[in-house]
Chain A
């Protein structure tokens, strides 16, 4: 009996929705005058803060244009992707099919990104990736309508090797989680480090997301390398930093890492992070007028300090503004839209960067050292670092 009632109410709801649509053609037309922007980001769970930062950054770029895109008003749609890869395709379809968005902005988690990517490739909707570094999206499966404004997973570590060899650290142990982002980070490290003349003496892996590093740290102590390079992020990164320090290794072995090792975990890691060297495309302490203005504006409007995720969201917004202005807000004019966004130079708080032919940033990688609980920029590890874009053929 419940089912029958359910069927009745649902039918009524569908009829009601359909008829109200029929009765209100004016409203429907009025809505389509606006550019429809869909956010698919994590708003709950471990990555919630990252999603919020990205959206704040994106909104800031639009607000600098008076909140319009190519002269048109903007309407926003939001879906919380919960960092759940299992719901990636479903959630992306909600925005594309139900909300009929003109552009899809998302997301943080690489697994979820693969769901978005599938929908973007099938529907042809403009897709802006503000974080997820999954490499295939701008390599073998690159697409004319998919642009990334963050990094590919191997990009930060690609620049790491030379910085290490320059400091005389020619024998290194690599350690990471045994999962795809870790493997992609290793690919960049191996390429950069061996090219600079370094030797990887051992490659260690921890099952993801285990944070029990003790056995491998003992192994590192026994190997006695010049340096250790790693890829860890979030809670695991803080734990690794503290264990590395507690095992007494930080006294004799220099620790290097992809920049995410020291992003957002400096407080949790405390003194254990001091002196650690990382490479990444941004740093809070970047001493440029552009970054200072961005940080001031962001702090004023959002009432919080921006992070690398806010910068990536901001750049996604800037990219969309450039594209929309070129086609006067008519995002359906795809040929002209993509032509305007291809090869564009973005004036970012991280420094100027250009969009590669595979739609991934060609950007400088900063060498940063943790000094008194802050990621301090001490140099540029790589100028205009590009992802190799292996297998990418734009059709």
Chain B
């Protein structure tokens, strides 16, 4: 593998890893802070992609569709938390698994009724259509760089929100010791609503920016969900930093195994997970 090829595969790895991070961050936040195992997280990614397709058809503009879609997704997450999830915080993990597993079926069926089972595609916006020529025969699609940039920006924003702002301090306090935080006057219910809506929003935005590069199809939520859980397990449950590191690791391992040893590409990330758990049973960044 020459250097240019290596560089492109590196870009591919980072782009895939950052996309996974967007999903895993929400998953790990919702688990770490509210203690909810959310199997339906992948369907929010699917929802995002379908929204991107549907809204792009309405507005004829992907960027506008993403903005509107993100707002819709956050509102949807807020409503879902208020209607359903808040009643399950204190319940058994098994109850939560049942609830969210049921939600997968409901969302899938609703999608089928609303938008059918066809595969759709979303065009890359004209502005980002094209490729950057790296060497005379290797080029990299501009849109994938944009996806990486958007995901990286959101990851940075998330980091700043949690570690530098007052709201982030409250979120961390609530996750650390709920009773103590409440007795200090922090409105934990409100915090939970925000975190949940944020998680849904991140997953949906990931689905929306990924729509032009991954197509829009019915089963897209389930395959990505498995990868997300791998990321969360490797990174350590509840750790956003862990999710970032783990997502990038998964991106690297998956991409380079696909190229170098395709025979084991399907199981390479699981081997990575097993190896990490062998030495760090709680994940890399379990606090």
Contact = CB atoms under 8 A, between A and B. Distances in A.
Given A45-B117, A221-B5, 5 more contacts: A48-B117, A214-B12, A214-B16, A234-B119, A239-B215
A46 B219 CA distance: 10
29 contacts: A205-B262, A210-B223, A212-B16, A214-B16, A214-B213, A215-B12, A215-B13, A215-B255, A215-B256, A215-B258, A216-B259, A216-B262, A218-B9, A218-B12, A219-B259, A221-B139, A222-B138, A235-B215, A239-B119, A246-B131, A246-B141, A246-B143, A248-B139, A248-B141, A252-B137, A268-B119, A268-B120, A268-B215, A270-B121
A247 B134 CA distance: 12
B1 A222 contact: yes
B141 A247 contact: yes
B144 interface: yes
Nearest to B123: A270
Interface of A: 45-46, 48, 178, 204-207, 209-212, 214-216, 218-219, 221-222, 224, 234-235, 238-239, 242-243, 246-248, 252, 265, 268-270
B139 A212 contact: no
Interface of B: 1-2, 4-5, 8-9, 12-13, 15-16, 117, 119-121, 123-124, 131, 137-139, 141, 143-144, 213-215, 217-219, 223, 255-256, 258-259, 262-263, 265-266
Contacts of A211: 214-215, 217
A165 B214 CA distance: 32
Contacts of A219: 5, 9, 259
Given A252-B137, A270-B123, A178 B262 contact: yes
A240 to B, nearest CB: 10
Given A207-B265, A207-B266, A248 B217 contact: no
A119 to B, nearest CB: 28
Nearest to B19: A212
Contacts of B137: 221-222, 224, 252
A339 to B, nearest CB: 43
B17 to A, nearest CB: 12
A215 B2 CA distance: 14
Contact of A243 (B4, B120, B213): B213
A248 B265 contact: no
Contacts of B265: 178, 205-207
A305 to B, nearest CB: 16
Given A45-B117, A178-B266, A209 B131 contact: no
Contacts of B117: 45-46, 48
A290 to B, nearest CB: 30
